[in-house]
Amino acid sequence: MKEVFETSSIIEQLEDLKLNALQELEGTNSVKELESWRVRYLGKKSHLTEVLRSLATLPLEERRAVGAFANEVKTYLEKSLDKKRQVLYEAQLISTAKEEYIDVTLPGRAFPVGRLHPITQTLYEICDIFVSMGFQVVEGPEVEWDYYNFEALNIPEEHPARDTMATLWVDFQTDSGDRPMLLRTHTTSVTARIIETMKPPIRVIEPGKVYRYEASDATHTPMFYQIDGLVVDEGITMADLKGTLYEFARRFFGEDRKVRFRCDYFPFVEPGAEMAIACLTCGGKGCRLCGNSGWIEILGAGMTHPQVLQRGGLDPEVYSSFAFGMGIDRLPMLRYGIDDTRLFYSNDLRFLRQF
Amino acid sequence: MKVPLKWLQEYVDITLPPTDLANRLTLAGNEVEGMQVIGGNWENIVVGQVIAINPHPNADRLSLATIDLGTDQQSVVCGAPNLRLGDKVAFAYVGAQLIDGHTGQVFRLKSAKIRGVASSGMVCSEKELGISDSHQGIMVLPTEAPVGIRLTEYLGDVILDLSITPNRPDCLSVIGIAREIAALTGQNLHLPEVNYQEAPFPIDQQISVEILAPDLCPRYCASLITGITVAESPRWMQQRLLACGLRPINNIVDITNYVMLEYSQPLHAFNYPKIRGKKIIVRRANDGEVVVTLDGAERVLSGDMLVIADEERAVAIAGVMGSANSEITPETTSVLLEAANFNQASIHYTGSTLRLPSDACMRFERGIRPELALPALRRASQLIMQLTGGEVAKGWIDVYPGRRDHEPILLSTAEVKRLLGVEFSLEQIVEALTSLGFDCKPGASEVWVTTPYWRSDIHLAVNLIEEVVRILGYDKIPTTMLSRPLPRQNHEPILKLKEEVRRNLTGYGFQELITYSLTSLERLHKLLPEPHPIEPMPLRVANPMTAEQEYLRPNLRANLLAALEANRRHEDDGIRFFDLGKVYLPRPGDLPDEREMVCGLLSRARIEKLWRGEQELLDFYDAKGVVEGLVSQLGVDASFEECRDESLLPSKQTAIVIANNRLGVVGELHPKVLEAFDLSETVYLFEIDLTDLLPFTVGHKMFQPIPRFPAIVRDIALVVNAKVAHQKIQGIITSFPLVAQASIFDVYAGGQVPPGKKSLAYRIAFQSPTHTLTDEEVNEVQQQILDKLSQELRAMLRT
Ligand SMILES: [Zn+2]
């Protein structure tokens, strides 16, 4: 078929076509209707396509004018189609979302949940605090020589301080009948080893298990955890000790927790100190938990005794040093209100799952 | 150490309220652990005097007493057998709070009619006042008690309960604490005045002392008091002893205890006529020498213990306890009083070996100074003279082989600053030290300090620095952050490995447990399906607390299985848990090999039965999957080999092998082991030696480029003998260079496969780093693979 159109009439037809198409598009309500609309107005057999196809037969000038207009109409209709399609799609989504229902209150598929032991959690928290202050975490043997556990720390045989740390001795005798092997009673034994082996500057913390010859009760277990710390350098002062430990207390117990530092005695430090925090239960007024003192003792500390440094080969006139040590088990007990320390090692899942 | 405030007030003026005083003492190192207020509730109770006693008109056993209370008089009905005219008593007005003598209940006194006679008030017993349990009669006060005064004022007291640190034996005394209070509050100390008239006869004609073991007895002082009468000690002394926790015995023993509480110097009184040969010999005991101590027990001594002897026998275990053979009796008329000093280690050894802890022992083993002996001896001699009517022989014995001079210590303000980080002036330093009795010779910026004779804990400048700062206050120390350059950090890689393993396992749903490092042989034997001796024997604790905690664990699994057993009493669900800790393997003549291990247990449901789907049970491949996931996350390639772990089922276990090292095991526990642990379920276990694993986890990985050319994927199904292991087939397939990956996706045995055979299906990815493979290339390699599988494993392609 070969028809020759007047340019102006072709443009008029196209304008009518555009108007009709837009009106019909307005009336479409489904994807299906939309598709038939597309076939009718933009499909291969649509009038518009025909017009575009017949352009070749037109003289050059007309071809330009008609072609430009026809393409303009085509682009316009395509854009309108996209818009309408979007509108329909969204309307369908909303109606689907309204119709489909699942009971979201049913439980999800269970993943088994594992947790770190509360003591491990506490240890990691403490280590993180000290590591951020430049401390390095070190460990030492749990089965230890008397020397590192006692002698090196100014606790010779028959020293009354030994009575306060009832020792579990290993069944091991030397030829001379001595029994020098024991389960360490405190992690301070690692301090003795570090002084002997590391060169200053030293900034370490020493977490681990310790053992005592003690019957189990609500406040005692034969095994528990401690963490000791040691700083050796030139110019280390008791003010640094106080600053470091106050910072620890601030971060572990909270910004507003009151802290007290008082004189105390440990054979391996001088001057010796004890740090306490205001009781978490009564806030300092005095209650059963704090023995009416208002304070909870958290750790022992002090300037490392010059003889301890000397024994490890460090010159106390050149280097100064501080050391501290604390029991770990008490901390989660205070934090969570746990009243029996044996729970940590009885491994009842009903207890462990709470942390 | 219990110290009554009123006793302290004899030596020092106390200007602070008791709680403030306790706080100051605590901050300065003498912790006040408790305070007992005596008479805190004695409202409306005053000192009265019995001025008339008349019989009760209606009851024989009761009487009517008129009590003078200074401002008024009260008439009460009283049933006490010891009511006597003229006695001073504690009188409670109506409204006073008392303790019922029979029930122990607190009650408030009301006016009453007893057998028809009005009684307004009450004469109290000690029990009713809460002083003691005595309720046999009314409490009779000393005659000098002023009538009308509030009883709290007269008898009330505050008893401080101090925890004295082992370095301060001098503070195990009232004077020692008074001295601390004086220094802390700026008050003066008033010591008891010791001054008495001696009898004309000289002591050295009555007794001589010889020290044969001067290393164990640095000093021995003695005095002799004759003409005494043994009786009860005065009431005030008994009360003080009781308040300090000591039981009154008789005036002589009580005085020795009283002076010990005053000076911290233990004393011992011998019945002088019983000392044979008029000679005291301080010597080592003979091995096996037997002494019957004051408590009536026979004590067998050894040659490293010290005794006080006369010419014939031991009369005391030095510093620990006297012997019955020279005990003070009611008939004793003359005493030899000993104030000596003994070696602290020796006393500690003797006291703990004989299990005879005593107040004297505690003071000696903490190392009191020998200088204390003489002042205490003279104080006690004076009290005995005053309170028992005796005469003190002229002079005293003083054998003092351990006398030594104490060099002054130099302390500079610079050293104080170097250690404390705060500057104290020389004046402040000198003032603090002087207040504690130190003798100070100050220079320009330093001071020579001589330690007072009662302090045994001061040897170095640091000791003085502590004295200074505890008197000036620890709150004077500023808080500074560490300002020195950061030390080099060499974090121990095992710490990181342990943390990664812990965090991964918790991520896989495993709960971390911490079991005791100690276990029992019995429990370890439960791990053996066929009983046999345990080799090597684990390390034993010489003094175990309980049989359950006698051996250092050589593995984690025994205690972990016990924990599973315990949890099964209340837990039916699926359980996955692990312990990560040390095992202790004995080494001859050395500390044990402490190895870090991780051990996990899995049993019952993999996923609890939910509202949809069936309950699935955990199996061997869950345990193995955990291990594979774990080592892969640690960046290690593991393979699995045949294994013989006797606690596991022989057919369901495999060794974890990394670079030809066997580092652990996965398997199903042997039913006999489960039975021994009282477990009626299937339990899977994995165990990895982290100490051995560590070196394989620390190396750096090298980057592998992401493949540029696509992979061609082929599935093949093979039929092999049922016992051919997957790992072998996979090994052959992946040995071809163009094979990038070969994974098994199906295992089948049954109807469509001949008996004794199984079918394994693999998905093989072929890939070249240099070009896109063609089908022809892949076909060729696949054929080679099939040929090799057929040759080596008789594998057939399933069609
Ligand atoms: Zn409290």
Radius of gyration of chain A (CA): 42
Suggest the residue from B37, B320, B355, B474 to mutate for an interface test with chain A (most A CBs closer than 10 A). B474
Q: Where is A90: in which H helix or E strand? A: helix A60-99
What is the rounded distance in angstroms from the CA atom of residue A51 to the CA atom of residue A47? 6
* Homologous superfamily, domain B712-797: Ferrodoxin-fold anticodon-binding domain (3.30.70.380)
In angstroms, what separates the C-alpha of A191 from chain B's closest C-alpha?
16
Considering chain B, what is the average pLDDT of its residues?
94
Per-residue pLDDT at A2: 43
Q: What is the CATH number of domain B409-476?
A: 3.30.56.10
Out of B499, B541, B570, name the one closest to residue A168 (CB).
B541
Q: What is the mean pLDDT of residues B120-143?
A: 86
Percent of chain B predicted with pLDDT > 90? 82
Residue type, B15: T
Dihedral over alpha carbons B432, B435, B437, B438 (to 10 degrees): 20
What does each of the 355 residues of chain A score in pLDDT, given as a tens digit? 444 456 677 888 888 888 888 998 888 888 888 888 999 888 888 888 887 888 778 888 888 888 888 888 889 999 999 998 898 888 888 887 788 888 888 888 778 899 999 999 999 999 999 999 999 999 999 999 999 999 999 999 888 888 878 999 999 998 888 889 999 999 999 999 999 999 999 999 999 999 999 999 999 999 999 999 999 999 999 999 999 999 999 999 999 899 999 999 999 999 999 999 999 888 888 888 888 889 999 999 999 999 999 999 999 999 999 999 999 999 999 999 999 999 999 999 999 999 9
Nearest CA in chain A to B24: A262
List chain A residues with CB under 8 Å of B480. 237, 239-240, 242-243
Assembly ipTM: 0.89
Evaluate if residue B556 carries a pLDDT over 60. yes
Instruction: State the pairing for strand pair B757-766/B712-721.
Output: antiparallel
Residue range(s) occupied by CATH 3.30.930.10 in chain B: 493-697
Q: Is A110 in Cβ contact with B511 (below 8 Å)?
A: no
Lowest mean pLDDT across A264-268, B502-506, B557-561, B694-698: B694-698
Tokens of B765: 């990815």
* Helix locations, A169-237, DSSP H: 188-197
Q: Contact at 8 Å (CB) between B332 and B309?
A: no
B166 reaches A (C-beta below 8 A): yes
pLDDT value for B679: 96
What average pLDDT score do residues B227-243 get? Answer: 92
Contact (CB<8Å) B481/A243: yes
Q: Residue B569's pLDDT is what? A: 95
Tell me what pLDDT residue A31 has: 82
Tell me: pLDDT of B588 over 50.
yes
How far away, in angstroms, is A296 Cα from ligand 1 center? 8
Q: How far apart, in whole angstroms, are the C-alpha atoms of residue B100 and residue B84?
A: 23
- Within chain B, all domains assigned CATH 3.30.70.380 are found at 712-797
Residue B266 reports pLDDT greater than 60: yes
Pairwise CB contact (< 8 Å): A238 & B477: yes
Closest CA to B377 of B265, B512, B290: B265
CATH of the domain spanning B45-155, picked from 2.60.200.20, 2.40.50.140, 1.20.1600.10, 2.40.110.10: 2.40.50.140
Per-residue pLDDT of B439-461, as tens digits, reads 999 999 999 999 999 999 999 99
Contact status, residue B340 vs residue B320, Cβ threshold 8 Å:
no
d(CA B321, CA A145): 34
Query: Quick one: CA dihedral B353, B355, B357, B358, positive or negative?
Result: negative
Say yes or no to pLDDT of B215 above 70.
yes
Taking the centre of ligand 1 as the mean of its atom positions, its distance from the CA of residue B243, in whole angstroms, is 27
Distance, CA B501 to ligand 1 centroid (Å)?
39
Write down the CATH superfamily of domain B198-399. Answer: Phenylalanyl-trna Synthetase, Chain B, domain 3 (3.50.40.10)
Contact partners, residue A223, CB within 8 Å, separation at least 6: A209, A210, A211, A345, B516, B517, B518
The pLDDT of residue A284: 85
Which alpha helices (DSSP H) does B268-372 contain, by range? 344-353, 359-365
For helices A118-131 and A238-253, angle between their N-to-C axes, nearest 10 degrees: 130
pLDDT recorded at residue A62? 80
Q: pLDDT tens digits, residue range B52-67?
A: 998 888 888 888 899 9
Put simply, whether B706 touches A (Cβ < 8 Å) is no
Q: Among A41-50, B165-174, B666-675, which stretch is predicted with the lowest mean pLDDT?
A: A41-50
Residue in chain A lying closest to B464 (CA): A271
Per CB-CB distance under 8 Å, the chain B contacts of A323 are none
Give the integer Cα–Cα distance in Å for B317 and B313.
11
Question: What pLDDT, in 10s, does the model give residues B323-373?
Answer: 999 999 999 999 999 999 999 999 999 999 999 989 999 999 999 999 999
Fold of domain B2-39+158-185: Phenylalanyl-tRNA Synthetase; Chain B, domain 1 (3.30.56)
Domain B493-697 matching CATH 3.65.10.10: the answer reads: no
Tell me where in chain B the CATH 3.50.40.10 domain(s) lie. 198-399
Q: Where in chain B is the domain with CATH 2.40.50.140?
A: 45-155
